[in-house]
Amino acid sequence: MPKVLLVRHGETIWNNQLRYQGHTDIPLSEIGRQQAERLALRLKNWPITAFYASDLSRAQETAQIIARYHQKPVVLCNGFRETKFGAWEGLTYKEIAAQFPDVWNAWQRDPVNVVIPQGESVSQVADRAWKALQQILCQHRDDDMILIASHGGTIRLILARALQMNLNLFWNIRQDNTALNIIDAYNDRYIISLVNDTSHLEQI
């Protein structure tokens, strides 16, 4: 099965302000575009055969900046969206804890099973993202290299599922903006060869 490059989108204003974005369609900031361009230059000579992205603009634009060097289209897939944070979107974690203390504390303990008000649980996000990944893998040859631009929480969950981790521990996997992660897929076995690599940002 193909090699998968999982890329988190570049920075947005809400990232900088530590606000939960979820399905709110916040575009890349100028810094985010610079970050994506740095990653694009790093990957410009890699033999990437296909590009996919969450349909939210921050991930879509990140993929498009990278794909431009390969003259390939970006296929959008809403299965790779960030967690739907519902009533929490636009709030910082301190504001969420103050306004939704009971649900916030429960979610901190058991995000797999706790559904965010007007949103999703971690297990729901993991299921849809993993399903989207499997559908894409089935469409490619073993020697293909594919890039998927997605979101911090979603990528953490894909990596956790690949490692057969307890999904409640997904926050233990760090994901910075434009982080590069690599999964080598072998049928039902997944080898993680790179996690949260941002060496391309050293000059910013």
What CATH number is associated with residue 99?
3.40.50.1240
Q: Which of 23, 37, 70, 82 is catalytic?
A: 82
3-state secondary structure of 157: helix
Annotated binding-site positions for substrate: 8-15, 58
Average pLDDT over residues 172-186: 95
Please state the domain count of the chain: 1
How do residues 185-198 score in pLDDT, each as one tens digit?
887 789 999 999 99
Task: Please say if 9 is a catalytic residue.
Answer: yes
Query: pTM, whole model, 2 decimals?
Result: 0.96
Q: Strands of 61-155 (E only): list them.
A: 74-76, 145-150
Average pLDDT over residues 30-48: 98
Domain range spanning residue 146? 3-201
Q: Decide if pLDDT at 151 tops 70.
A: yes
How do residues 80-89 score in pLDDT, each as one tens digit?
999 999 999 9
pLDDT value at residue 204: 63
Query: Considering only CA atoms, which of 34, 85, 33 is closest in space to residue 60?
Result: 33
pLDDT value at residue 152: 98
The length of the chain is 204
Complete edge-to-edge strand list for the sheet that includes strand 180-186: 74-76, 50-53, 145-150, 3-8, 180-186, 189-197
**CA–CA distance, 2 with 185 (Å, rounded to integer):** 6
Task: Please say if 23 is a catalytic residue.
Answer: no
